[in-house]
Amino acid sequence: MLGRAADQARRLDHGWVGPEHHLLALLAEPSPATEALAELGVTYDRLAERLRSRTGDPDWPPPSYDGKGLSPSAATYKLEARAEGLALAWGYRVPEPEHVLLAMVYEDHGVTGLLHHLGASQPAILEALRRRGVRVPEVDPPLYRPWRGHRRIEVDEAELKRVIDLLIQQHPPGSRWRWGFNWLPGMPRRARVDAEEGIDLDALLAQARRPAG
């Protein structure tokens, strides 16, 4: 699963492997999952074109492929773990494309937002899979909603732990405002922390940098 996604990342000259590349790999081969997405207007060519045309943030340019190894994002590990859990729970040793797609449906950001903007909502995907006899979870997914504003900071590895501790303390998962982080390429290790407008990341970083006691 990761190898096929990495191949798609290289084709796009991307220097990382994320859930969007897993989605491309899924769409590259026929399956009930591919059929369900095509019914909703999501095809390989359409997704690839959207990913090529995304300019991103000029102040935080994404890494390009340098001909070496590709680092999976944190979201990739979560996606693969969720897909493997679904597969094992239903008697499969290896995730099928439908498990990978369901793993995407049952998140509330990232590739779910990409699918949403391509016209495929989470409920619509579930219904399209059901029509093809695919088993889906009995619980509803957390529905995607766009982020409300965007704040960003860049921190080193030691600062990241202190910032994350404060975020968990002040804005635990499931609270009003959302946040996340990802490692940046290069050494020494640095990370990018993103949050909705309601979280003052600059104030949190200043608090994290204060001497203990």
* pLDDT score at 44: 97
Contacts of 2 (CB under 8 A, 6+ apart): 17, 72, 76, 80
* pLDDT score at 55: 58
- List, for residues 132-143, the tens digit of each pLDDT value: 999 999 999 988
Residue ranges and CATH numbers for the domains of the chain are: 2-130 (1.10.1780.10), 151-209 (3.30.70)
Longest CA span, the chain: 60
* pLDDT score at 71: 85
Q: Which of 155, 11, 6 is nearest to 72 (CA)?
A: 6
pLDDT-based confidence at residue 7 (cuts at 50, 70, 90): very high
pLDDT over threshold 60, residue 58:
no
What percentage of the chain reaches a pLDDT higher than 90? 69
CB 10 within 8 A of CB 66: no
Both tokens of 19, joined, read 């859930």
What is the DSSP pairing of strand 71-72 with strand 151-156?
unpaired
pLDDT over threshold 80, residue 185:
no
